[in-house]
Structure 1
Amino acid sequence: MAGHRPQGREETRDALVRAADALFAEKGPNAVTVREIAARAEVNHGLVHRHFGSKEALLDAVLDRHMAAFKTALRSAGTIDEAIPVLQAVQQDRPGFARMMAFLILERRATEDFTRPAGGTADLADIIRSGGPADDDAARAAAAMVTAFSLGWTLFRDFTVTAAGCRQSPGDMNRMAMAALLALARPPAEPQGPEQRPEQGLEGGPEV
């Protein structure tokens, strides 16, 4: 049975973004047509071009909506201990996001075409940097690894848990994943150079 047909500019745009989001996660952006998106949104397909110009612009709107959700959630986290659960919660609320990102990579799109340099991963790096001894490069590297692990856990959790024959409950496995993410988010301080040998007595002392 047909649902409520969107009315007005904002309602139509929102319906198109939601429809595209669902379809991109189900089939991958390359396999989705403008007509499919319009049919899912219950609007005329010409409205996709009127409101967005192209399917690629609609993809950008979908990605921007996800990034805005991650950024808004992470702004509420003052420490890395708060940020990791927030990150996991947002990903669990948006299971299609990880699938869509996987499709974009498998479609061999240029990374620059769908990444957002000022997105949630950058915010996570800021939180890591502000909470410990990590310098800028170490904080960004930690944020990249946390994001990769978190997306991978979202995508492959059921497969890997089954393949490994894990007997822990799903809740226990998720808690273990959370602990691993927290460990990744705490990069070690930069090494201070070779370890200095302690001063020794005259016998066997340092050469002069």
Structure 2
Amino acid sequence: MDTSGSTPQAWGRDEVRRAVLRAARSGFAAKGTSVTIREIASAAGVNLGLVHKHVGNKEDILRAVLERDTEVSTAAIEAGGSVPDAVRRLFDIGLADREYVRISAWLLLEGRTDLLLGNQVRGMAAVRGVDPHSHTADVRLMTALAAISGWSLFSEGILAFTEADNADRDKLEGQMSELLATILELPQFAPEPPSSPLR
């Protein structure tokens, strides 16, 4: 996280919020909740007083960061198709933006599951909307999230350990996304047909 203070100042309310949330996201991903508001303000190029005025305290900032990430993930799930289609989109989001996974990992390690709970409930509700008749929707999403989170956090080590060629990373990740979607389409994970009304 750059704390050199060389970033140009952002003064308007919207500019302050954008700059602070961008810097906060990087800070929370790198240091968890131990990142200070002063560090966030410095990285954002924003006066500390403006952070409090336009965004709030550290918990407010963290909640705003998580809310934005939840909106992106929920939109990906609700984009249509099946649960495997949604998983492919979530995998792509996780690859493109590992900061959310790192923030979640920090919060879990710090015992702050309360901050993640509302976001996870919204994600599960979105999956149920894609697959409303499946009793396995939760299991399918948990399986997908475990794989996406694990790869986002440990991919560098896994690639080194398996001696896989980093140059083939895009191809490997595409294959992993397809494999995960295929696993979720196995018969034991298939949605149950809606029950017919009693006559």
Q: TM (normalized to structure 1)?
A: 0.77
Task: In structure 1, list runs of 5 or more residues that go unmatched.
Answer: 191-208
Indicate if the aligned counterparts of 1:77 and 1:86 stay in contact, CA closer than 8 A.
no
Indicate if the aligned counterparts of 1:121 and 1:147 stay in contact, CA closer than 8 A.
no
Q: Which has the higher contact order (CA 8 A, sep 6+)?
A: 2
**Structure 2: how far apart are the matches of 1:85 and 1:20?**
28
2:182 partner letter:
A
When structure 1 is superposed on structure 2, of 43-52 and 158-167 the one drifting more is 158-167
Residue of structure 2 in register with 1:146 after alignment: 144
Residue of structure 1 in register with 2:172 after alignment: 173
**Structure 2: how far apart are the matches of 1:107 and 1:81?**
31
How far has the Cα of 1:62 moved from its partner?
A: 0.4
> Percent of aligned positions with the same letter in both sequences?
30
Superposed CA deviations along residues 90-113 of structure 1, whole A, max 9, x for unmatched, are 22232211111111112222x222
**Structure 2: how far apart are the matches of 1:15 and 1:157?**
29
Indicate if the aligned counterparts of 2:7 and 2:44 stay in contact, CA closer than 8 A.
no
How far has the Cα of 1:28 moved from its partner?
A: 1.3
Q: TM (normalized to structure 2)?
A: 0.80
Do residues 78 (structure 1) and 81 (structure 2) align?
yes
CA RMSD of aligned residues (A): 2.3
How far has the Cα of 1:165 moved from its partner?
A: 3.3
- If each structure's helix is expressed as a fraction of its own residues, which one has the higher value? 2
Superposed CA deviations along residues 31-56 of structure 1, whole A, max 9, x for unmatched, are 20110011111111122222233101
Q: Tell me the SS of whatever aligns to 1:53.
A: coil
Indicate if the aligned counterparts of 2:19 and 2:44 stay in contact, CA closer than 8 A.
yes
- With over 3 angstroms needed to count, the CA separation of the structure-2 counterparts of 1:117 and 1:167, relative to structure 1, is closer
Task: In structure 2, list runs of 5 or more residues that go unmatched.
Answer: 193-199
Residue of structure 2 in register with 1:15 after alignment: 19
- In the comparison of the two structures, how many residue pairs are matched? 183
Superposed CA deviations along residues 8-29 of structure 1, whole A, max 9, x for unmatched, are 1111111111110011111112
